[in-house]
Amino acid sequence: MSKTKRPEASGTVMLRCAHHALMLPPPEEALAESPTWLRGRGPVYFADGPVTLVMALEEEASTSHPLMIEAHAEVLLIWAKLANDLLGTTPLEAPERKRMGFNVLVFCTELASALHSERFGPKISPDLRNRALEVVAQATLQTGACLVATVRDYQASLS
């Protein structure tokens, strides 16, 4: 049986751990693609192996967890700021808003899930936890603003 080589992920590595990397999409795709954790080893991480933050935390040494949570929060803050910039430059119905809103929402829920996890949450330092919760709150506000037209359309469909 022959193995086909998987394509390497494109983008920028924000953080590399023993078994995972937090990858940012290339700048030209930042409004359409979400950052993601990818499984891999050494210098090679594959685009077809995304995992959530909690899944990555489960597979990494506990000494890596604070750095992983901090990096995830930092990237989420960057994406929330991109969403805010998008809100200031596009009309309410712009399709870019919907895509960005869902990308920020998914990435935000990954961090919220890790903070709420009984396995990881209690081990997070209070300072890091508070900073991460502030980022989750800010990202949630940007998500809501990006998805307001989507929510309006959904509510109209119920009538």
Distance CA 94, CA 46 (A): 31
pLDDT in tens, the chain (159 residues): 333 333 455 788 899 998 899 999 998 898 888 999 998 765 555 544 789 999 999 999 999 999 999 999 999 999 999 999 999 999 999 999 999 999 999 999 999 999 999 999 889 999 999 999 999 999 999 999 999 999 898 888 998
Contact 85, 22 (CB under 8 A): no
Q: What is the pTM of this model?
A: 0.88
Q: Which residues of 58-79 are buried (b: 16+ CB within 10 A; e: fewer)?
A: eebeeebbeebbbbbbbbbbeb
